[in-house]
Amino acid sequence: MTAFDPVTLEVVGNYLVSTVREMGATLMRTAYSVVLREQMDCTTALFDPNGQLIAQADHVPSHQGTLSFAARFVARHFTMKPGDVVILNHPYRGGTHHPDIMIFRAIFFEDRQVALAGALGHQIDVGGRSPGSVATDARDVFEEGLIIPPMKLYREGELVEEVLQMIEANIRVPEETLGDIRAEIAATAVGERRYIELCEKYGADRLSHIVANLLDHSESMMRRDLAQYPNGTYKAVGFMDGDGLSEDMVRIEVAVTLEDGSVVIDFAGTSPQLKGPFNCSLSSVQAACYCAVRYMVDPAILQNEGCYRPVKIVLPEGSVVSPIKPAPLSGRFHTLERIATTIVQAFNGARGDDAVANGHGHLTSFSTSGRRPGNGSTFVLFEYHGGGWGGTSRCDGLDATFGLMANSYDNPVEAIEMAYPLLVETYEFIPDSGGAGKHRGGLGLRKHIKYLQGSGYFTNRSDATKFGAAGALAGKDGLPARHALKRRDGRLEVLPSKATNLTIAAGDTMILETAGGGGYGSPLDRDPQDVLRDVIDEKVTHRAAQEIYGVVCDPDRLSLDQRATEIQRAQLRRDRQNGG
């Protein structure tokens, strides 16, 4: 293979990144639903004709392995012609879960296929028994929504109208979903145009060799960074609240073996496949593993198929990470988030003092539905929120941020209230929710949303209510998540993390409190000025500052009492040495 100079690789690599980012911008700017245009739950990418990832936009990390898996499926099973576009969401044929509809466009240059352009968007509704397609108690894949096997949506540039008609007939909000699908198609058209421009500049054969070099270079950089960790096997265990049908804890166990720049991730000991919909498709498990390993290396490494080559995954068949069809799996995001968090925790064994505390490790998500005032049309809102990240050896954890596997935004309050008969009454950080430490865990958030018109349904699809995110190296755990419905008459119904199709009516309020991250290091080693700043910012209460951090603040002048702090910390250290 011809070796290319670093300048050419850098120029082409950044052109490809620029292309997929432009594709993503096109998707979000032309999307109909708030979940795409505001929350950015989408991804765009380019692949070679065999389905190998060439470049992927920096949108949702959980899509990095999933789109690649689906692209390879399309490359193997379809003979593509110019103008062909494939659509799919089948979770056992390359997809992830039902709402993630994927689009792939064949790219041709001089009568030869040179690439695939791909887009994935989480659709606001694809049918099933729960509005938003988020039933937490589905018992098989058929209850979870419309399944779209890989099929051609366009044949040689001609739309197969019946495909869209079939989708429209099976969903609650066809205008939004079909509009979002068209936005994905538009994004792949941008990718096609830009890639052809690159072929015109370099020639198809030369470009193919440049791309192959880029993949090899990413692999080499990954192996270089991973080889810096000590060889060995490092283990960790994580848990989920339950599977939606049972409150039995779900166990995620990983053994990460590092050997001279390669990684083997073995899931032996993980729970058998679940009856409820929190099993994880193969493409999603791959995404969680790839993403967790990517967090351990230089983030500047170009994201492509070469990044995955050093990683091998061992999956016990019939387990939550390798379910047998037709096991339900629409809630798989919570599982893959826990997988990634547990892998990072296992890496702590190799990182020593550079360990990181656990983040919240899930999404606090929900859907609500009903009828709009005036025209009486159906509305469905699916929304999700982040929590606290874990503290590290260098800094505090991020506050109220999506986890390791998401890179989305919270919906702006204005966007919710303009699009839905809902009122956001409260939107704030939760004081003391981050685990105390030398570097504090990130805070969770609290959101109260009042239902204003008529009646409808509410589904809570969340996790992390039974345990807090683990601290590291004497850091404290973060607070767990909490969810409730406050009824119009003032009654408070505390909810489990998973509940489907609860009736909700005007005057009821949905209460969502997300989990905080774990702390890093002893709270008594935190800089007192940082504690004072947190008290001023209302991230830490006066009581926690004094009783946990040993920092005494003047509540009136909001100033630090240095002498009282020294005495308090000395007393707390004695108490803790004596087991108090």
d(CA 162, CA 180): 17
Q: Residue 460, class by beta-carbon neighbours within 10 Å (0-12 exposed, 13-18 middle, 19+ buried)?
A: buried
**pLDDT, average across residues 395-416:** 93
pLDDT at residue 1 greater than cutoff 60: no
pLDDT at residue 389 greater than cutoff 80: yes
Query: Considering only CA atoms, which of 244, 131, 248 is closest in space to residue 498?
Result: 244
CA distances from 491 to 397, 456, 484 (A): 35, 18, 10
pLDDT at residue 2 greater than cutoff 70: no
Amino acid at 459: T
**pTM of the predicted protein model:** 0.95
d(CA 284, CA 273): 15
**pLDDT, average across residues 285-291:** 94
Q: Report pLDDT for 4.
A: 75
- Model pLDDT for residues 216-274, shown as the tens digit of each residue: 999 999 999 999 999 999 999 999 999 999 999 999 999 999 999 999 999 999 999 99
Q: Report pLDDT for 66.
A: 79
- Model pLDDT for residues 116-148, shown as the tens digit of each residue: 999 999 999 999 999 999 999 999 999 999 999
Amino acid at 393: S
pLDDT at residue 577 greater than cutoff 90: no
Strand partners, 85: 105, 154
Ramachandran sector of residue 110 (left: φ over 0; alpha: ψ -120 to 50; beta: rest)? left
Q: How does 242-266 read in b/e, with b if 16+ C-beta sit within 10 Å? A: bbbbeeeebbbbbbbbbeebbbebb
Strand partners, 121: 42, 101
Helices (H), 483-527: none
- The DSSP output letter for 125 is -
Q: What is the pairing mode between strands 311-314 and 364-371? A: unpaired
Least confident of 94-98, 168-172, 317-321, 476-480: 94-98
d(CA 511, CA 447): 6
Q: How does 327-352 read in b/e, with b if 16+ C-beta sit within 10 Å? A: bbbbbbbbbbbbbbbbbbbbbbbbbe
CA 62 to chain centre: 5
Q: Report pLDDT for 65.
A: 72
Helix orientation angle between 174-202 and 204-226, rounded to the nearest 10 degrees? 100
Q: Report residue 580's pLDDT band, with 50, 70 and 90 as the boundaries.
A: low
- Model pLDDT for residues 351-363, shown as the tens digit of each residue: 999 999 999 999 8
- Model pLDDT for residues 181-210, shown as the tens digit of each residue: 999 999 999 999 999 999 999 999 999 999
Entry field: residues in the chain: 580
pLDDT at residue 57 greater than cutoff 90: no
Q: pLDDT exceeding 70 applies to what percent of the chain?
A: 99
